[in-house]
Every structure is written in structure tokens, then in C-alpha cells.
Amino acid sequence: MISLLKHKLTQFILVLVLAFLIFQFAVPQISLLLTGIAAPVPAHLVWMIYMPAVTLVMILFVSSSEMAWAEFRAPLRTLIVERERRSVIGLRTALLIVLPLLAGLAAFFQIQPSVSPPAELRSVHPAPPSSITLEGESIELQTAHNPFRNESGAPDLAALAEGEAIYGQRCVYCHGDALNSDGIFADALRPRPANFTDPGTIAQLTETYVFWRIAKGAPGLPPEGKGWNSAMPAWEGTLSEADIWKVILYLYDATNQFPRVAGE
């Protein structure tokens, strides 16, 4: 075993394998420990620069003296020119079959077209239109406000209760009991229904934006928001304008959030 380890060819192979393992696995781990981010070494750097550099150094090492060079190439030479020993001839034949196959496989995987789906570019909050029509009336999204809030923004309690009922009747299946995108249909939908407890949804939107989204649903999204199939229904025709304002009261109240005020 020791004599095998001392052999130049074994050392050559071991160092190359070790170097590869370090570049591939140890470097990302070390960077994870030091910086908290696992930074993998790009494959082309490994194969075009680092591994060739290590190979070059190892060739210098095994050819540093006549003796070392003779030792390094003896087994390779035997493998290529041996005529007597059947085991060596068998190994050579196997290599002559396996190596071209491996090269063929590598080429195959390189040119095989990838069938991964396109990157899903979807603007979650595309710019809303400046006005929408609902029940034949035009609503200016810039200036409209929720008629069920008083001056200081507090909701009308009767309207809030009605909003809760509407939510339980219409929205809960997708957006969930706890408004956290956990409705019974949610797992089947992509994108998932909005999670209203997440500060990235209604908390950063104005009430009129939320109004637009509820009234016009996914069909009303501009092209940059369509990206992939949202199941959010358009509620115009089902819910009246007042109903939509009421359910909005409930969305904010139940999640303890406040709408963004236009201009802030």
C-alpha cells in the first residue's frame, strides 16, 4: 500500500482527484463558513483554468528527474504495449471501449437541448390603470377612497362585519382562514394566492390598488403582470362596488395592517 502511494502515477492521480474535490466541494464550504454564502466555483474556471494548472504542475513534478519520469510512465507504457499478460490486455481493451463511450456520452449531454421551463418573469405589482369602469361607472384610482372609513381611517364596524362575511363566502377557499394563502385550493394554484399577512402584499398597496385587483382580478392584469396563470377571479359583476370596499376593510383589519396612503 505504502509503495503504491509512493508511486508517481498514483500521486499524480490522487492529487488531481483531491484538487477537483477541493474546488468542487471544499471551497463552497469554506466560503459558507467565512461569509455565510456558499459560493461555488464556476465549472468553466474549474475545467479551463484550475484543473489544467494543477495538471501542469503535476507533470512538472513527475518529470522533475529521469527516475521519476521513468517510474511515472512505466505502467502507462505497459498498458499500451503489453502483449503477454492477459489481465493487462483485458484492461486495455476495456479502456478502449469505455473511454470513447464516455466521450460520446459527454458530447451527448452537452448538445442535448434543455427542456427546463422559461424563467418566470412576473411583475407581482404592475402599475395599475389610472381609472377603471365598474357597473358602467368610471372610478378614478388616484382619488377614490374607501367610503366606509371615517376621517381618521377607522372602519365602519357594520361594513367591516359584512366584509368578513363576504370574505368567508368568496375568498377563503383560496386565501385561507387566516388570510395567509392557506385555503383549500391554494396548493393547486400557481402563483399561490396572495398571503395578506405578508408585508409584501396589501400593507404596501393603496386601497384603490387593492380595489382594482379585486374588481378586475387576473384577467385585468396588464401584460407584465400576466406572466403565468393567476387564478384570481375578477369580482366585478359578482360583488358590488360597496361589497369590494367592505371586503377590503376586512383584509386590513384581520391582518392588523394599514393601507399605504397615496403619495407616501
Q: Which residues of the shown chain bind ligand HEC in the complex (CB under 6 A)?
A: 125, 170-171, 173-175, 185, 189, 191, 193-194, 201, 210, 213-214, 218, 230-233, 235, 247
Q: How far is the CB of 121 from ligand HEC (least distance, A)?
A: 14
Q: How far is the CB of 143 from ligand HEC (least distance, A)?
A: 20
Q: Pick the closer one to ligand HEC by CB: 67 or 119.
A: 119
Q: Pick the closer one to ligand HEC by CB: 77 or 224.
A: 224
Sequence-ordered alpha helix ranges (H) in the chain: 2-6, 8-21, 27-35, 43-45, 51-62, 66-81, 86-111, 157-166, 172-175, 207-216, 223-226, 241-255
Q: How far is the CB of 245 from ligand HEC (least distance, A)?
A: 11
Q: Pick the closer one to ligand HEC by CB: 20 or 185.
A: 185
Other Cβ atoms within 10 Å of 79 Cβ, number: 13
Q: Pick the closer one to ligand HEC by CB: 25 or 228.
A: 228
Q: How far is the CB of 133 from ligand HEC (least distance, A)?
A: 19
Q: How far is the CB of 138 from ligand HEC (least distance, A)?
A: 21
Nearest to 261 by CA among 132, 146, 140, 131: 146
Q: What amino acid occupies position 232? A: M
Q: Pick the closer one to ligand HEC by CB: 72 or 181.
A: 181
Is the Cβ–Cβ distance between 173 and 263 less than 8 Å? Answer: no
DSSP code of residue 206: -
Calpha distance 256→245 (Å, rounded): 17
HSE-up (13 A, CA, CB side) for residue 242: 5
